[in-house]
Amino acid sequence: MDFSRFIQYIASGTAYTLGVTLIALPSGLLIGLVLAFVAVYGGKLAGKIMDVYSTVLRGIPPIVLLFILYFMMSGAINLSPFWAGSISLGIISSAYQLEIFRGAILSVSGEQMMAARAVGMSKIQAIRYVVLPQMIRLAIPSWSNEAAIVIKDSSLVYAIGVPEILRRAQLISASTQEPFLAYITAALIYFALVFITNRVLGRVERKLTIPANP
Amino acid sequence: MSKPILTVKQLTKRYGSNTVFENIDLTVNEGDTIVIIGPSGTGKSTLLRCLNLLTKPDGGQIWLDDQEITAKGTDEDHVRQHIGMVFQNFLLFNHLTALENVKLGLVRVKHMPEKEAETKALEELARVGLADRAGHYPGQLSGGQQQRVGIARALAMDPRVMLFDEPTSALDPELIGEVLEVMRKLALEGMTMVVVTHEMGFAREVADRIIFMEKGSIVEEGSPDALFYHPKFERTREFLWKITELYGKKEAQA
């Protein structure tokens, strides 16, 4: 097999890697964001439940959770490994994103919430127009870190047979006896994806920075 | 006889076994400027926050005009629209410009059309002397300017009464004057105001009534002259002159 086809074989897994990431990251975002607001504003009991959710999910290695969730999902609703794996990673990420957003909400809320209520806004309005726009800005640095983790953790779905970058690197290294070249290629692709993502999010962060005097 | 805007009867607030204040009676008439003074930790700020229901009182009643706002089923958000509040730490919405800060309540709470709200917000900023700072973010404004935006934000809602919670305590001495000036103007225009402050110069000049609170109850109340020159209690005299001495220097600078 010639070199370019070797590279191409591995690189074509990027579509799966991106696919898994683009499902896992936004679903983790959505679940994490909603749960964070429930945790902060939903009362004591809801806060406790969110604590349990996040502590349990963050206390188990992602690969173990992936297997558990995958077998639960593929058994119950017969999802393909790609979808089951992506959603599982999304659920795992939601626990981490919950903590990121909870911290951001807590550091904005309190006084800003009080100021918004004093103008006559309802709690929901205060969250929507005052807390949310500020907490999102605060959360971006930690969130881009989580985005990098999800991109890298997308490689875990190789274990349930999704032909993404790592899976292909493994297959071709076995058939060509070129493990070093195969894994270096995979590493470079992952690195490029993480690097670009962080750059883009850094730009978003700068763009959203609220002007202030030094 | 002017009509009461805020009427407070037997108001009580406790945190656990700690009583913040107890059985407070207070009437604020239309156009009155009431200044509440007293040592820190006497419940002045908590009292103010109970008046617009940001904090729930544990006992007693409050009326805004003829409506009992402590009654069950009161729409608190609606009540707060009519009671403006200015905070010690300004508490502007940090992600919004001065103009947007003033506009937000008009658009979202009063459902005013965008254009109209913008005009009104600009008017309110002009009223506090900050029309030229409309596009600035809080982080680009001085403390005094931020507090004036805070006042404009509250004024924009056309409140029945304005509550000021130590509005100059977080300011550098040289910035206090501009905020007091705005408040003085408001009082002259006939705005009904309840002000918690240590600025005795302001209290003496502007207040219709000064209320001296200590340890959760009203010790004495009366006109500035009465309290400064003929207090009923030695404790009132002691506190007033001590605080005047402490803050007097600051005022002279401002």
Q: Where are the domains of chain A?
A: 3-208
Exposure string for A127-152, b = 16+ CB within 10 A, e = fewer: bebbbbbbbbbbbbebbbebbbbbbb
- Test A115 with B140 for CB contact under 8 angstroms: no
Looking at residue A137, its pLDDT comes to: 94
Nearest 10 degrees: Cα torsion A4, A10, A11, A16: 160
Q: What is the residue-averaged pLDDT of chain B?
A: 91
pLDDT at A202 over 70: yes
Joined together, the tokens standing for residue B40 give 């820190």
Residue A154, pLDDT > 90, answer: yes
Cross-chain residue pair A120–B104, CB shorter than 8 Å: no
pLDDT score at B17? 87
Distance CA B121, CA B131 (A): 9
Amino acid B193: pLDDT = 96
Q: Residue B189 belongs to what H/E stretch? A: none
| CATH number, span A3-208 | 1.10.3720.10
Q: Kindly list the residues from chain A whose CB atom is less than 8 angstroms away from the CB atom of residue B120.
A: none
pTM for the full model?
0.88
- Indicate whether B251 pLDDT > 50: no
Higher model confidence: residue B2 or residue B233?
Answer: B233
Report how far apart, in Å, the C-alpha atoms of A74 and of each of A89, A95, A158 are: 14, 22, 16
Report the pLDDT value the prediction gives residue B1, as an integer from 0 to 100: 54
Return the half-sphere exposure (C-beta side, CA atoms, 13 A cut-off) of residue B230: 4
Q: Is pLDDT above 90 for B112?
A: yes
Average of pLDDT values for B195-214?
Answer: 92
- Tokens for B200, please give them: 């005795």
For residues B169 and B176, the answer to whether their CB atoms sit within 8 Å is: no
Q: Do A115 and B87 touch (CB under 8 A)?
A: yes
Cα gap B14→B21, rounded to integer Å: 7
pLDDT value for A1? 61
Q: What is the pLDDT of residues B1-60, one digit of tens each?
A: 578 999 999 999 999 889 999 999 999 999 999 999 998 888 899 999 999 999 999 999
Confidence of residue B247 (pLDDT cuts 50, 70, 90): low
Task: Report the pLDDT averaged over residues A141-161.
Answer: 94
Minimum Cα–Cα distance from B163: chain A residue: A118
ipTM for the complex shown: 0.90
DSSP 3-state helix, strand, coil percentages of chain A (rounded to 5)? 85, 0, 15
d(CA B210, CA A214): 40
Q: Is B161 strand, coil or helix?
A: strand
Q: For the beta carbon of residue A37, count every other beta carbon within 10 angstroms.
A: 21
Please report which helix (H) or strand (E) contains residue B233, including its range.
none
DSSP state of B84: E
Q: Which residues of A touch B159 (CB under 8 A)?
A: none
Q: What is the pLDDT of residue A75?
A: 77
Nearest CB among A118, A133, A211 relative to B80 is that of A118
State yes or no: pLDDT of B163 exceeds 90: yes
151-180 in A: which are within 8 Å (CB) of B? none
Task: Give the best residue of B53, B54, B77, B110 to mutate against chain A (max A CB count within 10 A).
Answer: B77
B-chain residue closest to A112, CA distance: B91
- Per-residue pLDDT of A111-144, as tens digits, reads 999 999 999 999 999 999 999 999 999 999 999 9
Q: Are B253 and B174 in contact (CB under 8 A)?
A: yes
